[in-house]
Amino acid sequence: MPLLEVNDVHAYYGNIHALKGVSLTVEKGEIVTLIGGNGAGKTTTLRTITGLMRPRDGRVMFDGEEVAKLPAHDWVSRGIAMVPEGRGVFARLTVEENLEMGAYHRKDKAGIKADIEKSYQMFPRLGERRTQLAGTMSGGEQQMLAVTRALMSKPRLLLMDEPSMGLAPVLVDVIFEAIETINQEGMTILLVEQNAHMALQVANRGYVLQTGQIVLTDKAAVLQKDPTVQKAYLGIE
C-alpha cells in the first residue's frame, strides 16, 4: 500500500478547473517528483494533499486513511510536514525559535534538543546563526531553516514546494544534497520542482503535470531521456 495516494482529484478556483483528475502515488522510502511549468497545478496539488484546498472530486489517502477533508493542522500529528514555496519562516523569531516551532506538538524535550543539534549538523550555517532573526538571513539560509523546521515535527512524509526557487546554483546543490541525505535516512519525499534537471537526478520516479493533468509518469532516469521532457523542461533540443 502506498504511503500517499492521490486518486482522480479535481479541484477548482471558482469556475477555473485547476486539477483535472490528478492521480499519483508515493511509496515509503521514495523520492517522487512532480514537475511542470508555471501554472501547471503543482502547488495546487500540494495544497489539495495538505487540506489547504478541498478537492471537489477524488480521494487523498495517507497510510490507508482518507485525509482530503481533514483540517490542515491535523496533518502534522499524522506525520506530514511541508516546506512551503517562499520558505515561510517566522521572520521575527530566531533560527532556534523557528526550529522549536516546528516541534510544537512534541513533548519530548530531550529529543527536541537533540534534533535541533542535528539540524545544525546538517546545515552548520544555521548553527552559526542560531540566535539571529530569521527574517534577516539570506534566501538560501532561510531555505535551510524551512527544511529543518519541517523535519522537527518528525514526519513520515515530507512535501517540498519549489525548494530551489530563487537560490544561487551553489545553494541549490546544498539543498539537493540535503534532500538526498534525508531520504537515505528513511524519509519519504514528494518534491514539487521547476528545476526538473535537479529533481530528476535525485528522484526515484516522476510525474509531469501540464494544465492540471498528469501527462507522463515513469522512473526518473527514463523521464530524463524522454525527448518531450528534455525539450520542455531540461533545455535540450
Residue 190: closest CA among 205, 201, 178, 175: 205
Shared domain check, 166 and 70: yes
pLDDT of residue 103: 94
Please report, for residues 49, 76, 130, the alpha-carbon distance to residue 71 in angstroms, rounded to integers and kept in the order given: 11, 10, 32
Query: Whole-structure pTM over 0.85, yes or no?
Result: yes
Question: Three-class SS of residue 67?
Answer: coil
pLDDT of residue 27: 98
Q: Which three cell numbers stand for residue 106?
A: 512534541
pLDDT of residue 134: 97
Where is 159: in which H helix or E strand? strand 157-161
Shared domain check, 75 and 167: yes
Q: Which three cell numbers stand for residue 169?
A: 546554483
Shared domain check, 119 and 136: yes
Query: Is residue 84 a part of any domain in this protein?
Result: no
Mean pLDDT for each 10-residue chunk of the chain (237 residues)?
96 95 98 93 92 90 88 82 89 97 93 96 96 95 96 96 92 94 97 94 97 96 94 83
Shared domain check, 199 and 172: yes
Query: Is residue 86 a part of any domain in this protein?
Result: no
pLDDT of residue 138: 92
Domain containing 208: what range? 4-79+155-233
Shared domain check, 75 and 25: yes
